[in-house]
Structure 1
Amino acid sequence: MFRLLKNGDVYAPEHIGKADILICNDKIVDIAEHIDFDYPGTEVVDLEGRKVIPGVIDQHIHVTGGGGESGFTSKVTEVGLSDLVRGGVCTVVGVLGTDSISRNVESLLAKVKALNEEGLTAYCYTGSYDYPSPTVTGSVGRDIALIDEVIGVKICISDHRYAGITRKELTKLAAAARVAGLVGKKPGVVHIHMGAGKKGLKDVFKIIEKTDIPVKTFRPTHAKNNLKDMMKLAKMGGYVDFTASPPSGCAAIMKEFMAEAPDGSVTMSSDSNGSMPVWNEKNELIGIKAAESTGVYETMVALHLEQGLPLEEALKPCTVNVAKALNLYPRKGCLKPDSDADILVLDGDELKLYEMYAKGKKMMAEGKPIVKGYFEK
């Protein structure tokens, strides 16, 4: 099927300006100032006055639900397809979190497979906060190398909920992920939940100093918990991930951080469907809520409209930067010929999400999802 998007103001994420985009099935065929194409059955969509950007890549979503820090009733529900569409999310990486007792990697993998069947692009990390890491095959390395959807391993450090992983064990985990990534042609990363604990990234820095494991193997998220260590890692050549909540507050911190950090080093993710617990100084739970899948998109908009970043710069942390970090570029994270047709259409000065195409399939029209998951009402 051919679809021709005409007259949109295209950000790829670099600003191209007014252009036409020709899509064939799931791929972008061409982008040009004017495309004449009259193949029978081609759908022509006029986007005059609207902006066109790459689809959001969200590398940290609890697709099977997170939480559980306040008993079984505090387990967050799994994400629905329409929830992701509302956030403009075309590519998702699923994670486990605190609870790997009543949740497991097998169910995470099954949910990721379901999201792929529903039209998105979905991956996951094996492991959780726990150590030794829960896996499907019994080995972190085998999970990463042999299971198509598994691209790395999740772990927790510097947090009162961590499993007591030592520096030596973290070194072995990173080495296993690194080698498995090479064997399986995957990123092979250690996706790190970094809490606000005393050690920060000290163990990671020591491993980088004492071993030959590349700095980019370590991918800490929740950057706001320790901005000093995160900046140090970024300047060493690593990637730093911000959790996009609350959007306005996150955008303000990100703008300041991005002004000093190396270009391309900053990404952001939503932590959607994970719990957002509030702890006091004694690490006692005093409140809890769930993150939403719209967080990344809303933070991107806030970076542009509230913090004054050019739109092409505001887009980078949720498009091209994360695509390169996960070895998905240029298939993902940009609008180019041969890229996947993951496309968002924005309406008005407030950049409201108007249309979404995931691998060429239309999933949102006039600001509303037009697809639902299997059991969504």
Structure 2
Amino acid sequence: MYTLIKGAEVYSPEPLGKQDVLLAGSKIAAVGEGIEPPPASAGKTNVVDAKGKMLVPGLIDSHVHIIGGGGEGGPHTRTPELQLSEAVKAGITTVVGVIGTDGMTRSMPELVVKARALETEGISCYCHVGNYHIPVRTVTGKIEDDMMLIDKIIGVGEVAVSDHRSSQPTTEELAKVASQARIGGMLSGKAGIVNVHIGESGSRLDPLLQVVNTTDIPITSFCPTHVNRTEKLFEAGIEFAKRGGIIDFTTSTIPQFLEEGEVKAAAAVRRALAAGVPDDRLTMTSDGQGSLPEFNEKGELTGLTVADVGSLHRALKEAVCLEKVRPEQALKTVTRNPAEMLKLTDKGRVEAGCDADVLLLNDEWETDSLWAGGRCLMKEGEVLVKGTFE
């Protein structure tokens, strides 16, 4: 019932120094110095010596194609679904599932059921309703009803703009979707954000800014992702964030993207901070299990790679160790910031009362051990719990 982690260097994500952390059931019971096992827990407390290690909140990946993605090159290019152990090895304790281009054979019922499956297997999982295209395909017939009646649905997305694969939505159509998501969020107590795929066309973030400039929809209703895919898009993202918006950098990449000017996610975090973007307006996500397609100048598919949830942890390590971003600022992008954006109030922090989602890292920022909901899923680099069919 109890786990007492002793002597770790704790980041909440703010640095707290050397502390002990007591997990009781699915919650963090206490954080402090000299914590002892509860008197009534004789023989029921697992004591972990964490000296020389760092303890941080479990990572939150808020953009994962948990039922697979792809399909741009035909049925054989549909990518596989996420397996539990892939998230665990990456230090991820919470994911948000999305559907991408293929809203035909990838359905919302399938997404919701996969979210429930991952949660049963060991990690927290939520999802957004819809896919690249507008009108949004819902479960009940209305975005607001989906958010009110289906616990796992917390927002809308990923809706695509500035991309040849989008439905080319008008400003009015985008505004209506954002309004429905916002109202659904208000009534259900959920985030109600619209996760927006930003493609490589010259309009960049303009479709979102047109909604913000011509309606009462606040800029925080949108979370644009892939903002680091081109240099000009990155620069537009900096201005978007300075206006009060949140921007998301994608950690999965391929050599062609980098050769064509993509800004690596870790470098994007450093550069955004240096440009004066507040550190609470930046997030990183993996786009895990999505396709990373290569297109020629005619828009024809020439290659495809599967995005990797493990890239999230690698980008975090790179931000700290190579880009020299302060640890607490790098950690915010994958812990507290997404938790606050998504209104996951018990996640993203190492505090008493929060969910017992914690991660032990060694001095090289590699994953050592992981607890999700107080359950140890990885110990000293070994995955202890795998998915049902792994």
TM interval, short-chain normalised: over 0.9
Residue 40 of structure 2 is aligned to residue 26 of structure 1:
no
The whole-number CA distance in structure 1 between the counterparts of 2:27 and 2:89 is 22
**Could you tell me which residue of structure 1 aligns to residue 260 of structure 2?**
none
Aligned letter for 1:327?
Answer: K
**Could you tell me which residue of structure 1 aligns to residue 360 of structure 2?**
345
Segments of 5+ residues of structure 2 without an aligned counterpart are 255-262
Aligned letter for 1:351?
Answer: W
> How do residues 123-202 of structure 1 correspond to structure 2 at under 5 angstroms?
123-154=126-157, 155-202=159-206
2:235 aligned to 222, 228, 236, which one? 228
- SS for the counterpart of 1:288 is strand
The whole-number CA distance in structure 2 between the counterparts of 1:101 and 1:228 is 34
Moved over 3 A (4+): none
- SS for the counterpart of 2:331 is helix
- SS for the counterpart of 1:191 is strand
| 8 Å contact from structure 1 (residues 60, 94) kept in 2 | yes
Aligned letter for 1:298?
Answer: R
- SS for the counterpart of 1:338 is coil
How far has the Cα of 1:72 moved from its partner?
0.8
**Could you tell me which residue of structure 1 aligns to residue 267 of structure 2?**
252
**Could you tell me which residue of structure 1 aligns to residue 335 of structure 2?**
319
**Could you tell me which residue of structure 2 aligns to residue 361 of structure 1?**
375
RMSD: 1.3
Aligned letter for 1:374?
Answer: T
- Between the aligned residues of both structures, percent identity stands at 40
> How do residues 96-107 of structure 1 correspond to structure 2 at under 5 angstroms?
96-107=99-110
| 8 Å contact from structure 2 (residues 249, 268) kept in 1 | no
**Could you tell me which residue of structure 2 aligns to residue 73 of structure 1?**
76
1:165-209 CA-to-partner distances (Å, cap 9, x unmatched) read: 111111111111111110111111111011111211212111111
- SS for the counterpart of 1:207 is helix
Aligned letter for 1:113?
Answer: R
The whole-number CA distance in structure 2 between the counterparts of 1:213 and 1:325 is 16
> How do residues 197-346 of structure 1 correspond to structure 2 at under 5 angstroms?
197-225=201-229, 226-246=233-253, 249-260=264-275, 261-329=277-345, 331-346=346-361
2:120 aligned to 89, 110, 117, which one? 117
- SS for the counterpart of 1:321 is helix
How far has the Cα of 1:115 moved from its partner?
1.1
Residue correspondences, number: 374
1:189-232 CA-to-partner distances (Å, cap 9, x unmatched) read: 11101111121121211111111111110111001131122112
1:236-272 CA-to-partner distances (Å, cap 9, x unmatched) read: 1111001012499321222112222123000010000
> How do residues 39-78 of structure 1 correspond to structure 2 at under 5 angstroms?
39-40=41-42, 41-78=44-81
After TM superposition, the score normalised by the length of structure 1 is: 0.97
- SS for the counterpart of 1:29 is strand
Select between 47-56 and 254-263 the one with higher mean Cα deviation.
254-263
After TM superposition, the score normalised by the length of structure 2 is: 0.93
| 8 Å contact from structure 2 (residues 13, 57) kept in 1 | yes
Select between 247-256 and 121-130 the one with higher mean Cα deviation.
247-256
| 8 Å contact from structure 1 (residues 86, 293) kept in 2 | no
The whole-number CA distance in structure 2 between the counterparts of 1:60 and 1:187 is 15
- SS for the counterpart of 2:378 is strand
The whole-number CA distance in structure 2 between the counterparts of 1:367 and 1:246 is 25
Aligned letter for 1:90?
Answer: T
Residue 10 of structure 2 is aligned to residue 10 of structure 1:
yes
How far has the Cα of 1:30 moved from its partner?
0.5
- SS for the counterpart of 1:79 is coil
